[in-house]
Amino acid sequence: MILLFYNLALLVVLVVGAPWWLFRMATTHKYREGLLERLGFVPSRLRKQIAGLGRERTLIWVHAVSVGEVLAVSRLVKTLDAALPDYLIAVSTTTRTGQALARERFGSNRVFYSPLDLPWAVRAYLNALQPRLLILAETEFWPNLLSGCFRCKIPVAVVNARISDRSWPRYRRLRRLWRPFLSRLGRVLAQSQTDAERLIALGCLPERVTVTGNLKFDVRAAGEADTTRHLKKWSLGLRLIVAGSTLDGEEAALLEAWPSLLQADPKLAMVLAPRHPERFASVAALLQKSGFHWVKRSVWSSTPESSIKSLNPGQIVLLDTIGELASVYSLASVAFVGGSLVPAGGHNPLEPAQFGIPIVMGPYFTNFRAITEDLLDHQALRISTTDALAATLIDLLQDRAAAKVMGARARQVFEQQAGATGRSVEALKLLLSGDCTS
């Protein structure tokens, strides 16, 4: 009955919203990309991979929504590849940026856009893939997808499961609606004890919930990015501030602080990496208006290396590419992790922590509360308001000994919390073997 009401509500939303969606698809490429796949047309590249599996159900479907989730499951997918060589691990994403990164990390032949949660679209993929197991990253709960799996007796596992502070009130209000779905999940591998307790309160069976830790503590940069290699060559003698995953309002705050930072350390340059690609153009316009000397990273791709000039003190690099930020953090004297000066919940401070980089964040970090508080407890991260941003960064730039100790603590926290991938893989193997209730 719940599923019937959900589908009726979904139908109403589709009908009412159709003019808007048609307009967006006609005017914006990102709304058209992958549309057929989202509507249930399984791409031929994936069908070819499935054909090679024979009659055995030896496909595992991993769903990761966007860039953050793809990064989180990157090591998990590679570990599953090694641990289960007879299985094909296929990966779906929802967003365009997540799709691009997943194809880069795992190869395009086994990566696809997740179907919309429409009965026919979900059914088409379940019939074509016939997965032995569905693995959801974090809390991607979709009623038709879950019901389709349960109906086909496909076990469903959730890895890196969490209920954020922001989402918790909403989930709690709707717990009676979620309980019939969550109570049938095969395994729920939670990031923390708080997440486990919340998931149980929503309807997950206690015996199927395990705290395995955060997969993001196991994330390592995939290798030295081209930008990292270029910056090593072209920023000799300079110190870098890397400001990553910034949102609207944060670039302006950093640019306002920039003259004070340069006065304190004239040998600075900055790498500015907006979170969302669709904002690259607006941030470029902001930089152009600022009067500071700046360059787009993408320009380097179309310029012979011999013609590229070294960075000058005070210059800003706009990192308008996907998947290179984690590697670029390794060059930072200080890292600022964005999404945190504005009430957006913050982004992952582990990316710079793995390199032993001192980290600054704003006061809004609910999306990464456990990680951030762990770093704060170890004095491995500093919180700053917008007004105090310049002073906080200057303090770390000038007190190099304190910054080095702070970075070392961050790396220590990162290393101590590792191991979630191994624990998750063992739990998933048990579920596949039938040793766990599914």
241 three-state secondary structure: strand
Which of 165, 215, 211, 206 has its CA nearest to residue 182?
Answer: 206
Considering the candidates 37, 69, 324, 351, report the single residue annotated as catalytic. Answer: 69
What span, in angstroms and rounded, lies between the C-alpha atoms of 157 and 239? 44
Helix pair angle (400-416, 389-398), 10° resolution: 100
What span, in angstroms and rounded, lies between the C-alpha atoms of 187 and 159? 8
- Rounded to the nearest 10°, the torsion over CA 100, 102, 104, 109 is -100
Residue 249: count of CB within 10 angstroms of its CB: 12
What span, in angstroms and rounded, lies between the C-alpha atoms of 89 and 80? 8
Catalytic annotation present for 224: no
Contacts of 65 (CB under 8 A, 6+ apart): 93, 94, 95, 98, 137, 138, 140
Q: Quick one: 431 exposed, middle or buried, by C-beta within 10 A (0-12, 13-18, 19+)?
A: buried
Residue 233 to residues 22, 227, 237, 262, 310: CA-CA distances in angstroms? 47, 10, 10, 21, 8
Annotated active-site positions, please? 69
